[in-house]
Structure 1
Amino acid sequence: MSDQTYQIIAIVIYMGAMLGIGYVAFRRTNDIDDYMLAGRGLKPGVAALSAGASDMSGWLLMGLPGAIYLGGMHEAWIGIGLLIGAWLNWKYVAPRLRSYTAISQNAITIPSFFEKRLKDNKHLLRIGSAVIILVFFTFYVSSGMVAAGKFFDASFGWPYLTGMIFVAVITLLYTLFGGFLGASLTDVAQGLLMFAALIAVPIVAVIQIGDFETLGSRITTANPEAFNLFSSFSDNAWWVAVIAIFSTAAWGLGYFGQPHILVRFMALRTPAEAKTARRIGVGWMFLTSIGAIATSLIGIAYFAEDPLSETNSETVFLLLSQVFFHPFVAGLVLAAVLAAIMSTMSSQMIVCSSALVEDLYNITGRKASPKALVMLGRTGVLVIAVVAALLALNPNSSILDLVAFAWAGFGGAFGPIVILALYWRKLTAIGAFAGMISGAAVVFIWGNVDVLTGNMYEIVPGFLVCLVVAWLVSRATFKPSTEIEAEFTSMEEEVGAKVTA
């Protein structure tokens, strides 16, 4: 058999496994709580790996290695910022969010949590945040479909549209029927596959090259600044370098507002299990990030005589896997890239579905049976997928810029509100709404002005404006509420926090 045949067989096996997991989840999905939140029954390992796989996407296997290969180690500051942000999110947000969403009338989405936590009877928060989710995530899912189309075009020579539709249909099927549990369980398999691929490539490369000293020498010969985290900042004033590093690492701020990650916290069995999940999740993220960085450095040495161009630098991980492994194993590595794309798409489809059903349909006051709500949720997934596919028909669509913009949008609009809702008793509904809209607006404006974007990632001003506006407006509109006080105190007692006045 040819190398490509082996690779296709490996990918077909992977796709079949994902559909099988989706079917198992389908058999365990009975009502809307199961479909949207797996009945709050995720084990720590499942929640951790699911959050990691749905978060990292193809950026970890292609974007980061390609950026470091092309631009140098200073690009690793994004990974450093994300690692710090993930740890802080698991440590300070996860246990409180799991507890508070259950206490606040069993909120199963971020928009419904905002409304129930702040007793927003006018539904401003729920509608506003649901609309933001639908807009950003529809384009986010579309970017995944674009990536899938380009993946099959580059790897197997398939037409762009064929590859896009193939991945979209498989992802849609296991998400459509398995719901949140199906997405989470497939994320675990995908996370383990990504982990194995990112660890295996550097290890096999070192074994074949000889030893670490020889490898390090070859890397520095090809690029003397390869290991320098500050290589691109050396010619600038110190304060310019500090701003540049902070702006790059500020990706970590986005974690506090990402609905598809926060929902994993809400699905944990108990708040106490966030500690175990944090260790698993951050450990997975640390090791896979090291693997991605190591892969890019090995690529610098291996392709020293025939360097990769700017257009194909993101394929360094794929090329090394094909060099060092049997074609079937290389096919599994290619499947890991698909895993990264598909895990993120499935998670985003579920969040969009929950925004349509739980946050927009339910507030109309119409009554529906549990099975009817599940069917509505599946219909929502289908609608989002179709719209996203239509947006992805253009193969020249920007992927990286769209992902960065959406990440900043959620971080700037939702991040400060989540933190304040969990740690400040005096946050008000109108304050949260004002902050959310202000943050989203600043991200949108800042992200579309080149002179501003070039000096600071838009998530920083968006996050700060949202935080300040929410605090100021809440201070001006605060009125004591016995119900809010009681729920806040109950949450703090459950997570073992010191209760303050």
Structure 2
Amino acid sequence: MSMASFIIFLAGFLLVGLASVFKSRGTKSDYYIASRSVSPALTGLSAVATNNSGYMFIGVIGFTYLTGLAAIWLMLGWILGDFLASLFIHRQLRISTEHTREITFAGVLSRWQGGDLIYVRKFAAVITVLFLGAYAAAQLAAGGKALHVLFGWAHQSGAILVAVIVAGYCLAGGIRASIWTDAAQSLVMVCAMGLLFIVGVDGLGGIDATWQQLAQIPHYLNWFPDNLLMPGLGGVMLFVVGWMFAGFSVIGQPHIMIRFMALDNANHMRQARVYYYSFFTIFYALATGVGMLSRLYLPELQGMDPELALPTIAMQLLPPVLVGLILAGIFAATMSTADALVLACSSALTHDLAPRRLEKTWEIKSMTLVVTALALLIALAETQSVFNLVILSWSTLAAAFGPLLFILVRRHPVDERLALVMMALGMGTAWLWRYFDLHEDIYEGMPGMLAGLASYYLLRQVLVPRGRRPA
């Protein structure tokens, strides 16, 4: 029965995506940016579904299972940082998208101030392909983990299934298909997580009884982790601010920002933000709650893979037909992000990296298939956890693109050499932070972005021509 309900939901998502072909205009701009005609509601729902990926269903719940109540700071910091970024970045990006008439994130950055910073475009496109490709692989791996637990299939089966479905509707309607299915998937994701949270709390005897049982787990209800970088208020502030930078890092994620670039009108950004943050807050809170409940229902997962918590607790608490709903929710999350990642990589290859810009429909769709296949190969290797792979990709993209976009929005002039230094230094700092295991105390995107910004203010007198310096 769970298999039947799962298949019905998947078929529904596929049909929604395929239906978008009737709105297709058959152009490259329509395939990659929906001709900048997406409504605020669809923009917000699509962006939140893309953000709340398999990382949320699998990675965050696994992290919360191990960490406890202190994981709430990941949620609060992430959402607050994301919101602060949206107040002054998103609308300006949408305006610049229309002004430059570009269809890729790298393209808009390179032409923001007029002209075309060719090396910035190429470097940004390479980063996009490498790290969004790894990010896509993490989504496919998340689907594989869920199917393994629920149906006993090999991990590879779920990854292949997600890849096939995503390729199918992306080929049909491009980003419009992705956005339409994202909207449907966001509703299923919230319903699935809400259902599991309600049933889980009820099974433990209600909110008070649940809280009392959680309190019996040593240190599990501590407000802050025990292993802070420094004791006292300073360590607490660094921990929280670090996760605020993780949320602020959304401005460096091409697959999410392209949703706001596709909005029908820059003046509709406030409406899109209402949909985005309403669903984001509800879903993240539910995911954190389910992660904590999993510790009570599944104490045996300690020492094993905590990223299996969600599908395992669903099988324990729900009847088969609703288990199918949960699995559909996991797959909805993975697909809603995987399709965006695949299209972002495809656009970077066809528009920014190819020796000539590929305009023919068969060329564009062929590249979509190539990107999907490469992401699948990485997923099948199973080299890292979903949580670690997503955080590494997220922080790298944030450190590379976030500082540059911030400076461009502030209307400071940027020489091409300085832009490349900012991107390289930001990424290098984030990688070194992770290499020396400092990311366990402070999210590596924070020092990465700060290093990128610092390099601009320290080097602009040397690398920016005098006539282009701000007064």
Q: Is this contact kept in 1: 2:33–2:261, CA < 8 A?
A: yes
Q: Is this contact kept in 2: 1:56–1:340, CA < 8 A?
A: yes
Alignment partner of 2:226 out of 222, 232, 246: 232
Which residue of the partner structure matches residue 338 of structure 1? 331
Matching of residue 421 in structure 1 with residue 411 in structure 2: no
1:70-81 equivalent positions in 2, closer than 5 A: 70-81=66-77
Opposite residue 262 of structure 1, the aligned amino acid is M
Q: Give the secondary structure class of the aligned counterpart of 2:112.
A: helix
* Residues 402, 395 of structure 1: alpha-carbon distance in 2 compared, 3 angstrom cutoff: closer
Opposite residue 23 of structure 2, the aligned amino acid is R
Give the deviation of 1:398 after TM superposition: 4.1
Farther-moved stretch of structure 1 (256-265 vs 314-323): 314-323
1:105-254 equivalent positions in 2, closer than 5 A: 106-121=101-116, 123-220=118-215, 222-223=216-217, 225-232=219-226, 237-238=231-232, 239-254=234-249
Opposite residue 246 of structure 1, the aligned amino acid is V
Matching of residue 473 in structure 1 with residue 467 in structure 2: no
Give the deviation of 1:155 after TM superposition: 1.6
CA shift digits 1:69-125 (9 cap, x unpaired): 222211222222210122123222111111121112x12211111221133545111
Q: Is this contact kept in 2: 1:146–1:397, CA < 8 A?
A: no
CA distance in 1 between partners of 2:348 and 2:229 (Å): 47
Alignment partner of 1:375 out of 327, 348, 362: 362
CA distance in 2 between partners of 1:137 and 1:466 (Å): 20
CA shift digits 1:321-353 (9 cap, x unpaired): 334433112211111011111111110001001
CA shift digits 1:424-464 (9 cap, x unpaired): 232333322221122122223332233x4444332122111
* Residues 283, 315 of structure 1: alpha-carbon distance in 2 compared, 3 angstrom cutoff: same
Opposite residue 372 of structure 2, the aligned amino acid is A
Q: Is this contact kept in 2: 1:219–1:301, CA < 8 A?
A: yes
Give the deviation of 1:234 after TM superposition: 8.2
CA distance in 1 between partners of 2:144 and 2:58 (Å): 15
Q: Give the secondary structure class of the aligned counterpart of 1:153.
A: helix
Which residue of the partner structure matches residue 438 of structure 1? 425
Give the deviation of 1:190 after TM superposition: 1.1
Alignment partner of 1:356 out of 344, 349, 357: 349
Matching of residue 319 in structure 1 with residue 306 in structure 2: no
* Residues 153, 205 of structure 1: alpha-carbon distance in 2 compared, 3 angstrom cutoff: closer
Opposite residue 283 of structure 2, the aligned amino acid is T
Opposite residue 473 of structure 1, the aligned amino acid is L
Show structure 1 runs of 4+ deviating over 6 A.
none
Which residue of the partner structure matches residue 90 of structure 1? 86
Farther-moved stretch of structure 1 (232-241 vs 339-348): 232-241
CA shift digits 1:147-197 (9 cap, x unpaired): 222222222111233332222111111122221111111111111111111
CA shift digits 1:441-488 (9 cap, x unpaired): 2223332233x444433212211111122333334414557xx99xxx
Matching of residue 461 in structure 1 with residue 456 in structure 2: no
Give the deviation of 1:397 after TM superposition: 4.2
* Residues 209, 151 of structure 1: alpha-carbon distance in 2 compared, 3 angstrom cutoff: closer
Matching of residue 288 in structure 1 with residue 283 in structure 2: yes
CA distance in 2 between partners of 1:290 and 1:223 (Å): 21
Which residue of the partner structure matches residue 54 of structure 1? 50
Farther-moved stretch of structure 1 (433-442 vs 314-323): 314-323
Give the deviation of 1:65 after TM superposition: 2.3
Opposite residue 338 of structure 1, the aligned amino acid is F
CA distance in 2 between partners of 1:457 and 1:340 (Å): 23
CA distance in 1 between partners of 2:453 and 2:225 (Å): 33
Q: Is this contact kept in 2: 1:18–1:174, CA < 8 A?
A: no
Q: Is this contact kept in 2: 1:416–1:466, CA < 8 A?
A: yes
Instruction: Count matched residues.
Output: 468
Q: Give the secondary structure class of the aligned counterpart of 2:89.
A: helix
Opposite residue 110 of structure 1, the aligned amino acid is F
Identity across matched positions, percent: 27
In our comparison, the structure showing a higher alpha carbon Rg is 1
CA distance in 1 between partners of 2:201 and 2:57 (Å): 19
Q: Is this contact kept in 2: 1:70–1:310, CA < 8 A?
A: no
Give the deviation of 1:277 after TM superposition: 1.1
CA distance in 2 between partners of 1:433 and 1:94 (Å): 22
CA shift digits 1:43-78 (9 cap, x unpaired): 111111111111121222222222222222112222
Which residue of the partner structure matches residue 373 of structure 2? 386
Opposite residue 329 of structure 1, the aligned amino acid is L
Opposite residue 40 of structure 1, the aligned amino acid is R
Farther-moved stretch of structure 1 (402-411 vs 386-395): 386-395
1:13-52 equivalent positions in 2, closer than 5 A: 13-29=8-24, 30-52=26-48
* Residues 470, 31 of structure 1: alpha-carbon distance in 2 compared, 3 angstrom cutoff: same
CA distance in 1 between partners of 2:276 and 2:300 (Å): 34
CA distance in 2 between partners of 1:355 and 1:455 (Å): 34
Opposite residue 381 of structure 1, the aligned amino acid is T
Q: Is this contact kept in 2: 1:190–1:343, CA < 8 A?
A: yes
* Residues 454, 46 of structure 1: alpha-carbon distance in 2 compared, 3 angstrom cutoff: same
Question: TM-score when scaled to structure 2?
Answer: 0.92
Q: Is this contact kept in 2: 1:90–1:274, CA < 8 A?
A: no
Which residue of the partner structure matches residue 492 of structure 1? none
Q: Unaligned regions of 5+ residues in structure 1, if any?
A: 1-5, 486-500
CA distance in 1 between partners of 2:225 and 2:420 (Å): 42
CA distance in 2 between partners of 1:188 and 1:318 (Å): 23
Q: Is this contact kept in 1: 2:403–2:452, CA < 8 A?
A: yes
Give the deviation of 1:314 after TM superposition: 3.0
CA distance in 2 between partners of 1:393 and 1:224 (Å): 37
